[in-house]
Structure 1
Amino acid sequence: MKRPFLFFLLPILLLIIAEVLSVYFIMPFPGSQLGLAETEAGPASLGRVELGYWLHKNIGWMRVVGLLLLAYPAFLIISKPRRVWQRYVAGILLLAYGVVLYQVNMEMMADHMFLQPIHKRVVPMSENKIPLNKLVVGFESMGEATAYPLQLIGYHHQVRDTVGGESIMVTYCTVCRTGRVFSPLVRGQADEFRLVGMDHFNAMFEDKRTGSWWRQATGEAIVGPLKGQSLTELTGRQMTLGEWAAEHPNTHVLQADPTFAEEFEHMKAYDRGLSKGKLTRRDSASWKPKSWVIGVERAGFSKAYDWNTLETKRILSDVVGGEPLVLTMAPDSVSFGAWSRRVGVQTLNFQYANKKLTDKETGSVWTWRGHCIAGSLAGRHLASIPKAHQEFWHSWRSFHPDTKQYDPGN
C-alpha cells in the first residue's frame, strides 16, 4: 500500500462524521431542527429525521466496515510510518473517534439524558408532597384518577402507569409544551418505548418491537415499519393539582423520585413559563413562536386560541368541526376547560360578567368545569371536548398546518 495514511484518513473521518450526524439530526443542535418560526413547510418535511433514522439503523455495520478498512493502513502507519507525524495524527484521530463514539452513544442520546423514574411512587392525596398550585396532567379511568406533575413528567418525558386497570403512557415535551396520554398498545399488544430524539422540536419515541419512531405531539409513527400508524390518544386534562383534586378527591399523585432532585429543581419555574432556557421559556406576547395557545381538534378540523385572550375574557365561544364549544378559564388563571355548548337539543350561548358564568338562554349559572349550579338547568353538565391542549404556538401550527386562528372580533 503506497499511501496508507490516505487510506486511513478517509474511513476514520467518515466514521466520525457518521457518529456525529446520527445524533445531530434528531437532537436540538444549531440548525438540526426547523427553526421555531420556520414552520411553513409543516411536519411533512422529514428529511432530517429520515436520514437520522437511516443512520441509526445502519450505524452498526458502518462501524464494522469502517474499522476493517482502516485496520491495515493503521497498522502500517504505526509500525512503519513514512513520516513520523503521521503516527501521531493517526493516534489523535483514533482517540478522537473513541471520544465521539462514547459521547454520542453514552452522553448525547436522548434516553441517556432524560431517564425514567427509578423509584416510581404514586400515592393518595393524604401522602402527597406535591404543592397544590403545581400544574398536572390528570387522567381518569373507571372511577380511578391519577395526577402527573408537569415538573416531573417534563423531565422524564414519559411515565408508564396503570389507572383503573388501563395501561397508559403519559408523555410530555417541554420544548413544545405538549402533554399527551396514549395507550401503549401497538397492533393490539403492549409495547415499550424509549425517548430517541426530536422532530420539529418535538420528542420522538422508539417502540421496542419494530424500531419505528413516534411523534409525541400526535402519536403518529413518522418513520420505520409502522410509519403512518397512530397510537390511541386518551383524554388527559391539564390543570393545577388543587383543581384536579377538587374534581377527583380520590386521586393519586405521582411523586418526585429523589434520584432526580437536581433535574426537577431546574424545572421548578417551567409551569408558569419562566424557564431560563429559550426553548422552554414562554413569550408573554400573543401569536409568537413561544406564545401559549389552546389547540382544539374536532372532526378533522383544528383551531388555535390565544391564551392571553382567554385569560382576559375568561370564556371563548366558537364552533370547530361543526361542534359549538366554549373554553373556560378557572379562577386561578392557569387551569382551563373545553366543553360542548350542546345540552340536549339546545345550543347554549354563554356570557361572563361580575365573575359569574351564565347562559343567555336560561340565565343558569355554571362553573368553569361545565357544571350548572343554579337555575333551570341546575345539575346538568357540559360534555368535555377531549382534544383540547395548551401548548406553544410554534408546536401547534407545525403539527396542524391547516389550523385556523381564533379571531375574537368575528
Structure 2
Amino acid sequence: MRRAFLTLGLALWLAVPVVSLQAAPPSVVEPAVPLAHSLEAMRSAVRSGGPGKDGIPAIDRPRFESPAEADGWLDDRDRVIGYYRNGEARAYPQRILVWHEIVNDVVGGEPIGVTYCPLTGSALGFRRGDSEFGVSGRLLNSNLVMYDRATDSEWPQLLGVAISGPLLGRGLEPRRLIWTTWEAWKARHPETRVLSRDTGYVRNYRRDPYGDYNPVRGYYRPDSRRLFPVMAEDDRLPAKAMVLAFRDARSAAAVGLPALREAGVMRLSLGERAYLVIHDPGLDTGWVFHAPEGRDIDREALRFGPDGVSGPGIEGLEPVPAFQVMWFAWAAFHPDTRLIRESQPP
C-alpha cells in the first residue's frame, strides 16, 4: 500500500496545474442539506490530502469513444460512473477518475461537474453553469474538497455546500450519477459514450493506486482502515460498507444495500416527509422519491429504463437525489443519520 501511494504521489507531482480565469460563478441554490457541523468547524477540520491545488488534474476537455472501443480495455465487472440526460448517456470509468476526480463535461446541453472521491467511494454530479471545478488537494472527513475556478470557493463533495470563499453557505444543484458496472451500464444504455483514456495526461489507467473493485481489495475492503481523521465516528456498519444515502434540509438517511436488495421496495419517513426507495436490480442501485402515505406501488409492474424507474404509482412522484458512499464518510457528515440495515416491507 505504501508503494502504491508513493507511485500516486510521483504521478501527481508531474501533473500540470490547470489555471482558468472565469467571470461567471457556478449555479448555486439555497442548500437543502442538514449541517451537523458549523461552517467554521468544518473549515477548521480541513486537512491536506498530500498533492497541492490542481495536483490532481481535473479533465476539462473530455474525449469519448464507443462501447465497442471501450470493450477493448474495460472488463465487464469494472466500475463506471454513469450519467444520463436528455437522451445522452455517458460512462466515466472509475479507473480513469481515480487519477482525476473531476470531469467538467456538457451532457444533454447542460454543463455538469462529474465528481468522484476514491477515499469515500462517492460519485456526485453538480450543475456547474459556465464555471468549472478543480481539485483543491484538501480533504474534509477524508472527502474531496473541490473549488470553483470563478470564485475559488471550496466545496466538500459530499455536502455540495461552500465552506469558504465568496459563495460561503451556498449550495450546488445536484445531478444523479450511477455507480455500477460497465456490463450493467452498457446493457441499460447501449448507445452510451465512454470517457477515453486520451485525457491529455500521462497516467497508468490499467491500475488503481488504492486497490481494486474487481475484485474488491486494498483500501476499498469494508474492514480496511481509513487514512484521514473525521469529525464523527459510527460503528453501526463497517467503515467502508457502501450505503445508498439521501437527505432533506433537516434529516439524513442511509440504506444498507443488502437490505435494499432483499426488500426491493422500502417506505420510510424522515421527520414529516415520507419516502419510497426502490431497488434497481439491473444497475444494483436505488431510486428515491417523495411519496405520500397510502400510495400503492405494484412491485411486479415496475419497469427500469434509461430515465430510471417507472410504473403504476410512480408517475408524478418527486425524485430525490441519492448516491452510494462509504458509511464512515456519510456518518461523519451526518452523525444523526437514520440507518436502515434490515429489510423493511413496503
TM-score (ref. length: structure 2): 0.70
Q: Match of 2:287?
A: 338
C-alpha distance 371-212 of structure 1, shift in aligned 2 (>3 A): closer
Which of 246, 253, 276 pairs up with 2:218? 276
In structure 2, give the amino acid aligned to 1:315. G
**2:232 is equivalent to residue 292 of structure 1:** no
Q: Match of 1:391?
A: 325
> Residues 339 and 383 of structure 1 are in contact (CA less than 8 Å); yes or no, is this contact kept in structure 2?
no
Which of 134, 141, 150 pairs up with 2:85? 141
What is the distance in 2 between the residues matched to 1:388 and 1:51? 25
Which of 330, 339, 344 pairs up with 1:405? 339
> Residues 246 and 322 of structure 2 are in contact (CA less than 8 Å); yes or no, is this contact kept in structure 1?
yes
In structure 2, give the amino acid aligned to 1:370. V
C-alpha distance 292-117 of structure 1, shift in aligned 2 (>3 A): same
Q: Match of 1:327?
A: 278
Per-residue CA deviations over 1:314-344 (Å, capped at 9, x if unaligned) read 525122442331331526xx7212244859x
Worse-superposed segment, 155-164 or 131-140: 131-140
> Residues 57 and 135 of structure 2 are in contact (CA less than 8 Å); yes or no, is this contact kept in structure 1?
no
Aligned pairs (5 A) from 1:306-385: 306-311=256-261, 313=262, 315-321=264-270, 322-328=273-279, 330=281, 335-340=284-289, 347-348=295-296, 359=299, 364-367=300-303, 370-372=309-311, 385=319
Q: Which is strand-richer, 1 or 2?
A: 2
C-alpha distance 202-371 of structure 1, shift in aligned 2 (>3 A): same
Which of 247, 267, 272 pairs up with 2:188? 247
How far residue 161 of structure 1 moved from its aligned partner, in angstroms, is: 0.9
Worse-superposed segment, 170-179 or 227-236: 227-236
In structure 1, give the amino acid aligned to 2:275. P
Per-residue CA deviations over 1:189-231 (Å, capped at 9, x if unaligned) read 4245343311111111222232221111121111222211122
In structure 2, give the amino acid aligned to 1:236. L
In structure 2, give the amino acid aligned to 1:281. R
Per-residue CA deviations over 1:247-294 (Å, capped at 9, x if unaligned) read 2232111122485442550259533572423xx432399612222211
**2:122 is equivalent to residue 183 of structure 1:** no
Per-residue CA deviations over 1:345-403 (Å, capped at 9, x if unaligned) read 96235xxxxxxxx63xxxx443566355xxxx5x9779684422111111111222331
How far residue 162 of structure 1 moved from its aligned partner, in angstroms, is: 1.0
In structure 1, give the amino acid aligned to 2:114. V
> Residues 273 and 282 of structure 1 are in contact (CA less than 8 Å); yes or no, is this contact kept in structure 2?
no
Aligned to 1:227, the other structure's residue is in SS state coil
In structure 2, give the amino acid aligned to 1:295. A
Q: Match of 1:218?
A: 159
> Residues 210 and 225 of structure 1 are in contact (CA less than 8 Å); yes or no, is this contact kept in structure 2?
yes
> Residues 304 and 406 of structure 1 are in contact (CA less than 8 Å); yes or no, is this contact kept in structure 2?
yes
What is the distance in 2 between the residues matched to 1:212 and 1:290? 29
What is the distance in 1 between the residues matched to 2:248 and 2:88? 26
What is the distance in 2 between the residues matched to 1:276 and 1:174? 12
**2:71 is equivalent to residue 132 of structure 1:** no
Q: Which is helix-richer, 1 or 2?
A: 1
Q: Match of 1:78?
A: none
Aligned to 1:309, the other structure's residue is in SS state helix
Long gaps (5+) in structure 1? 1-40, 57-103, 350-357
- RCO higher in 1 or 2 (8 Å CA, sep ≥ 6)? 2
How far residue 116 of structure 1 moved from its aligned partner, in angstroms, is: 3.4
How far residue 137 of structure 1 moved from its aligned partner, in angstroms, is: 1.9
In structure 2, give the amino acid aligned to 1:326. V
> Residues 137 and 179 of structure 1 are in contact (CA less than 8 Å); yes or no, is this contact kept in structure 2?
yes
Aligned to 1:221, the other structure's residue is in SS state coil
C-alpha distance 323-211 of structure 1, shift in aligned 2 (>3 A): same
Per-residue CA deviations over 1:12-64 (Å, capped at 9, x if unaligned) read xxxxxxxxxxxxxxxxxxxxxxxxxxxxx9543855844979xx9xxxxxxxx
Aligned to 1:266, the other structure's residue is in SS state coil
How far residue 150 of structure 1 moved from its aligned partner, in angstroms, is: 2.0
If you compute each CA radius of gyration, which structure gives the higher value, 1 or 2?
1
C-alpha distance 384-241 of structure 1, shift in aligned 2 (>3 A): farther
* Ranges of 4+ aligned residues in structure 1 off by more than 6 Å: 379-382
C-alpha distance 409-265 of structure 1, shift in aligned 2 (>3 A): closer
**2:52 is equivalent to residue 109 of structure 1:** yes
How far residue 110 of structure 1 moved from its aligned partner, in angstroms, is: 5.1
Aligned pairs (5 A) from 1:53-132: 108-109=51-52, 111-112=54-55, 114-117=56-59, 120-129=62-71, 130-132=74-76
How far residue 303 of structure 1 moved from its aligned partner, in angstroms, is: 0.8
How far residue 308 of structure 1 moved from its aligned partner, in angstroms, is: 3.2
RMSD of aligned Cα (Å): 3.7
> Residues 326 and 339 of structure 1 are in contact (CA less than 8 Å); yes or no, is this contact kept in structure 2?
yes
